[in-house]
Structure 1
């Protein structure tokens, strides 16, 4: 394992480019975000809000590297999830084959009932 890490580190120093990832997790207040992908391609985005409620919905927002805000998806109904004493409202988006984003794009989620907009930066 150490040899693999050493080789990857040396390769990134020699080539000037490291492996690209789109995996990230973020939390802002009662809202959490999870992003899975490879490079600039995102395959899955999931979000959760602490607590249950009626009419809980979420949507994805992007901020371009230039700072422009745009609505990536429309509102999607969240599913109430209970595990032991934990109550969440969860929502998920999956893109078959992935969805490409520009380097430096911030991918954020917002829920209609609580404040908080956690973001993950998609980059090389």
Structure 2
């Protein structure tokens, strides 16, 4: 199955609940479109980062703090960035998916979504899906 590569040119602050929630809502709409395979077909560094943190043993409690902006201090935000940096070093697959500026602020990122119901690699279908997803 072909993959759609999505470039998010103005990255939301994924550590900030409001921006993250808006982005994830739009992502869910894209995943539920007639063109994509849903969450199982989405390859997104943020979901892999969550799994990485869980595998390190920081799972539910840390992710709850992140998801709900509970007890967030400057040190936590620094840890988010430091842990993200170590995640990217440990996961070459996602290393080039995020663009940072000189201040280590996330500027843009990319992700991939698997297409579904593909009539034998029809270029018309690919263009139709790309136009449906673009905004």
TM category, shorter: under 0.3
TM-score (structure 2 length as normaliser): 0.24
Higher share in helix: 2
Quick one: higher RCO (CA 8 Å, sep 6+), 1 or 2? 2
TM-score (structure 1 length as normaliser): 0.25
Higher share in strand: 1
